[in-house]
Amino acid sequence: MHGDDQQSAQTLFIRKVVIAIAIVAFAALLWRLRDMLLLIFGAVLVAVIFRALAGPLHRRLRLPEGLALGLVVLLLAAGIGLASWLFGQEVRAQAQDLAETLPGAWRSFEARMGDMAFGERISQMAREAAPSGSGVLSGAGQFVTSLCAGVADTVLVLVGGIYLATQPKLYRGGLLKLLPAGKRDITGEAFDDSGRALKSWLKGQVLAMTVVGLLVGTGLWLLGVPLAFALGLIAGLLDFVPLIGPIVAAVPALLLALAVSPTVALWTGVLYLVVQQIEGNILSPLVQQRAVDLPPAILLFALLGFGSLFGAVGVILAAPLTVVVYVLVKRLYVREALDTPTSVPGEQES
């Protein structure tokens, strides 16, 4: 009897060791595949957008889900093609002018800084940071490679998003089958909550991006800053990246405004500051009050964390990733594991 107990203890110990090794190996595999996991999340984000747009067609026009989704994809493709045909030449012209004007604006900035006491030091730092001739060629090659990889990843995300949007229940059910049977229902409800929260957040974010782009473009046009349309478009698109995006969007506008005059540059900085105050203190609270009101500190550290893990793409997708993680943590950990009452964004009222 004592020998049987000892053998059972050894078997249990071996089983625990094997499970621990399997968990470590699985974690290492996920770490190696982190770029692919980020692309999968991008495809999920695209699928949420497609289904959010197809929902009204399905509910109001009584169209089958597949037909509604197909119409949305066709309409989006047609809309992008039409916009490219109508405004593509203007956008390309302004983008080309922007690329040609920025170096001159930077030289004007250096010249103005040179008139100040600390200007020479700033100019020296800029020259030291500038790459050499071979570095420029190497950087150009890396840029082309990254651009091609980015295009391929974008196509993969779009196609994957269409597949996921077509049969979401199939992929959702397959993922839940990897979990223990007793945890599938509650995890499925958490997935649904995160999907609804993400959809609501996206609607509010698109509205905020549109308003920011219009305000910035109109304000720059009134101030007489060159290429106001292109700069407004950049400001609207980069507003998708919280905290960092607006700062990056303001840099080319400030350089171009400084090439006009220091006074225009000052008012341009004031414009961006006012627009971000409107977006952060008025617009975002209004449009996100029914979605996910993320605390600023959580969003800031999420940007740092996802940026460290996934690079630039992680920074771009940090906000929607944080929305999903925020909902799952509140539902599965705070409420279920800790048995602590808490409100969950995206949860349907019973």
**pLDDT tens-digit readout, 41-64:** 888 888 888 888 888 887 787 778
* Concatenated DSSP letters of 10-41: HHHHHHHHHHHHHHHHHHHHHHHTHHHHHHHH
Q: Is the pLDDT of residue 134 over 50?
A: no
225 vs 12 pLDDT, higher one: 225
Question: How would you classify residue 339: left for phi > 0, otherwise alpha for psi between -120 and 50, otherwise beta?
Answer: left
Say what the pTM is: 0.74
Sequence ranges of the domains in the chain: 35-131+157-337
**pLDDT tens-digit readout, 1-55:** 555 666 677 777 788 788 888 888 888 887 888 888 888 888 888 888 888 888 8
Please give the Cα distance from 231 to 185 (Å, whole number).
47
What's the whole-number mean pLDDT along residues 287-311? 76
114 vs 191 pLDDT, higher one: 191
Please give the Cα distance from 324 to 308 (Å, whole number).
19
